[in-house]
């Protein structure tokens, strides 16, 4: 398993319960075939440029270990989740 870091930016119009539900959804998905180490909720921040007509977004960072095939599935689900306006997953070098 490789270490990864995944950042998602959630639409700022999503309420706190929705953010917790999304965080739990992705935590469960990562834990199906990997091991979640830490979740950091960075809160609402101003974006460098507008994304889908939003000037700010709610940042959440996942630190985890997983097999490479899980990343493709995780990013597929990021793409089809309407509340997520941007995401990035990187492999962390030890």
Extended strands (E) in the chain: 2-10, 34-51, 54-66, 84-91
> What is d(CA 48, CA 63) in angstroms, rounded to the nearest whole number?
23
Question: Is 37 a member of any domain?
Answer: yes
pLDDT score at 93: 87
Question: Is 28 a member of any domain?
Answer: yes
Task: For residue 42, give its domain range.
Answer: 2-86
Average pLDDT over the chain, rounded to whole?
Answer: 92
CB 84 within 8 A of CB 45: no
Question: Is 43 a member of any domain?
Answer: yes
Q: What is the CATH number of the domain that holds 58?
A: 3.30.70.60
Question: Is 92 a member of any domain?
Answer: no
pLDDT digit string, tens, across residues 19-47: 999 999 999 999 998 899 999 999 999 99
Question: Is 91 a member of any domain?
Answer: no
Question: What's the total number of domains in the chain?
Answer: 1
> What is d(CA 3, CA 68) in angstroms, rounded to the nearest whole number?
10
> What is d(CA 77, CA 58) in angstroms, rounded to the nearest whole number?
18
CB 1 within 8 A of CB 35: yes
Phi, psi (degrees; rounded to nearest 5) at 14: -75, 135
pLDDT digit string, tens, across residues 45-59: 999 999 889 999 999
Question: Is 94 a member of any domain?
Answer: no
- pLDDT band at residue 94, thresholds of 50, 70 and 90? confident
DSSP category for residue 93: P
pLDDT score at 12: 92
pTM recorded for the entire structure: 0.90
Nearest to 63 by CA among 84, 91, 86, 43: 91
């Amino acid at each position: 398993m490789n270490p990864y870091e995944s950042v998602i930016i959630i639409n700022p119009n999503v309420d706190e319960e929705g953010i917790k539900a999304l965080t739990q959804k992705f935590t469960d998905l990562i834990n199906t075939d990997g091991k979640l180490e830490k979740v950091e909720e960075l809160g609402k921040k101003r974006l460098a440029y507008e994304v889908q007509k939003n000037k700010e977004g709610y940042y959440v960072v996942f630190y985890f270990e997983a097999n490479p095939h899980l990343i493709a599935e995780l990013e597929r689900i990021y793409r089809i989740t309407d509340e997520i306006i941007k995401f990035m997953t990187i492999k962390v070098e030890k």
